[in-house]
Structure 1
Amino acid sequence: MKNLIVSLFFLSMLLVFGSCGKSADLDANGIPGKLVVALYGSDDPGALRGAIKPFQQYLEKKLGMPVEFIYTTDYTSVIEALRSKKTHIAYLSPFSYVLASQTHDITPIITTGVDGKQSMYHSTIFTSIHSGINSIADLKARAKNITLCFADPASTSGHLIPRAYLTTIGLNPDNNVFKETIFAGNHVASVLSVTSDKVDVGCAATEFGLEIAERKGLVKKDQIRVLWQSEPIVGSPIVARNDLNKDFVKKIQNLYLNLAKDEPGIFLPYMKLLHPNPERYSYLTIQDSMYNGIRKIASGIKDLSVIK
């Protein structure tokens, strides 16, 4: 795992942010000449870019400056963008936020809410109905012959939470208890790796992996057997660098908070990529303390310190 994450860092720097130059520089008042926003590109980057474009144009109009969205292939790249100050605003998962907040001066400003309350989601460990693995007990008994698939190394529901659970039941992936442990890259890829019989068992978010794959017609519900599902996980944050002008950050925060009400034509298509009932969603404020539970779980991951 350690070598994988380190490799991702250097690849991220060279391929994603190497040409950004000084685009994220601030003036003496902490205001950029161009706002740069980094986010993980998801399993369908084309659809994401199309849904984000109207919001990008909206931000440019409201802020009176150019706005650039940088799409990455993993959360590690987003963390690197913050580390190297190549971005001002970033979309993170709860786990990648905990990783980034260890050494980076950032503050969570926005998260997604449903019906006026902070949204939650779940982690799932699953297999194909043809695998012959019917329970966690079967998984434990056959672990030495099983290939396990996580999503992204910095994913909460696709890595941290299922890894922590497996460790508590004596299946710590670091101890070579499985035949092989790999990363698929994202949640939907983890699902497809299982249904195509490339791996025996996968880990992903219920809502952003299994359900999205089903809605897109990539898999059928009866192809998957859920072995375990986590307790609710706190929603993902959008963060801002602390060296940004505070009034400028507040303005950005308010644009997000009012987006569902003021610009539903911009907000709903983006939410529809993630949720079947986008009209129930909006943006809400978030505090760092909401992620203390994730920090506690993450403290048990031995390679946590390699992400600086």
Structure 2
Amino acid sequence: MKLFGHLIAGAVALASFTSFAAHAEDLTFGIISTDSSAVLSQRWQPLIDDLNKQTGLHVKAFFATDYAGIIEGMRFNKVQIGYFGNASAIQAVDRSNGEVFAKVKYVNGESGYYSLLITNVKSRFKTLDDVFKNTKDVTLGFGDPNSTSGTLVPAYYLFAKHNTPVNTSFKAVLPSSHEANLLAVVNDKIDIATNNSVELGTLKTQHPDKYAQVRVLWTSPQIPSDPLVWRKDLPQATKDKLRNFFVHYGKTDPHEKAVMANITGYSGFDASSDAQLVPIREIALFQQREKIESDTHLSDADKKTQLAALEQQMNALTASAGAKQ
């Protein structure tokens, strides 16, 4: 009976392996929730159709309701390829066995994009000074916690620079997607909101009347363009197919150019690596340092220890980036 049981177990295991092997090139492409699933599907599905056609892979799209859904999907190997922002890509690399292999290119030739703080053109906020005079009377539309342009960059370059902690300084903070925040500003339902130049550029092209309702109060330093991440443990042959497809897509073919233009003004993709995440990692480490330095519950000795550890991380980060470039 034991031998029979082992044979049954072996047969089941073999059947499972055979089934997996037969579908080894079935992949899921996770796309972060910058907009509604319907909008994202309309933008990205034509590219995924071309990807399947040109590579012979079987790739399906997955649109989660938040960034964490894609990160966790990759962590548990339910998602093998992902389109991320830089901040969420850091989570995918650190927690989900991910690796940056490409990044988007813009039609305007720029190698990055910008975080914005926006308001309705009819609002009482004409300048940043108007916002920071009395933030307790201001409702802020903020980004997803894992959003680079909606959360991480404005938290550091804007709010921290004005000594204004987001969670305690405003009348209300309402985290949402870029699309929802943009519509809330256009419809004058919220005082101010974070967003980015890509979303605003798309609005200008597709709905110039709505674009005319938006005032930009602040623009960040340039953010590296959004990365594509794959799981490190994908077969090398699959990686080669993916890389070859993306770095050549949209360069000459009119159909491919049109597909890329529809994905919020992109023109194609360039090869990239984890090194592009270094500037965003540096922002995160600087934020941690500021938090430690201002923590009144820490002793001087604990602060010194924690700050020394952060300095080591920064040095290792800089050395790693230099080695990969």
TM-based fold match above 0.5: yes
Within the candidate set 273, 289, 297, 2:283 is matched to: 297
* DSSP-derived class of the 1:269 partner: helix
User: Aligned partners of 1:263 and 1:75: how far apart in 2?
Assistant: 32
- Alignment partners' CA distance in 1, 2:120 and 2:44: 34
Letter in 2 for 1:204: N
The answer (yes or no) to whether the contact 1:112–1:118 under 8 Å persists in 2 is: no
Percent of paired sites with the same residue: 26
Shift of residue 57 of structure 1? 3.2
Question: Which of 155, 169, 189 does residue 162 from structure 2 map onto?
Answer: 169
Give the CA deviation at 1:272: 2.4
- Structure 2 distance, partners of 1:219, 1:150, is 24
Cα deviation for residue 40 of structure 1 reads 2.4
Distance (Å, rounded) in 2 between the aligned partners of 1:44 and 1:87:
19
Indicate yes or no: 2:180 matched with 1:189. Answer: yes
2:205 to 189, 199, 215: 215
Question: Which secondary structure does the structure 1 equivalent of 2:77 belong to?
Answer: coil
Which 10-residue stretch deviates more, 233-242 or 37-46?
37-46
The verdict on how the C-alpha distance between 1:34 and 1:295 changes in structure 2, with shifts beyond 3 A counting, is same
Structure 1 segments unaligned to the other structure (5+ residues) = 1-21, 303-308
* 2:231 paired with 1:241: yes
In the alignment, is the contact (CA less than 8 A) between 1:195 and 1:219 conserved in 2?
A: no
Q: 1:218 to 1:64 in 2, by over 3 A?
A: same
Query: Looking at CA atoms only, which structure, 1 or 2, has the larger radius of gyration?
Result: 2
Give the Å deviation of 1:118. 6.4
Match of 2:49 among 57, 68, 74: 57
The alpha-carbon distance between structure 1 residues 78 and 162, as it changes in their structure 2 partners (threshold 3 A), is same
RMSD: 2.6
Q: CA deviation at 1:257?
A: 1.2
CA 1:191/1:261 → structure 2, altered by over 3 Å: closer, same or farther?
closer
Give 1:96 deviation, angstroms: 0.5
Cα separation, partners in 2 of 1:118 and 1:110, compared to 1, 3 Å: farther
Are 1:268 and 2:261 counterparts? Answer: no
In structure 2, the partner of 1:229 is 219
Question: How many aligned residue pairs are there?
Answer: 270
Aligned-residue offset at 1:130: 2.6
Q: In structure 2, list runs of 5 or more residues that go unmatched.
A: 1-15, 292-325
CA apart distance, 1:106:
1.3
Deviation at 1:131, TM superposition (A): 2.3
Partner of 1:259: 249
Q: CA offset at residue 90 of structure 1?
A: 0.7
Match of 2:121 among 120, 129, 132: 129
1:153 and 2:114 aligned: no
Retained in 2: the 8 A contact 1:127–1:226? yes
1:199: how far off? Answer: 1.4
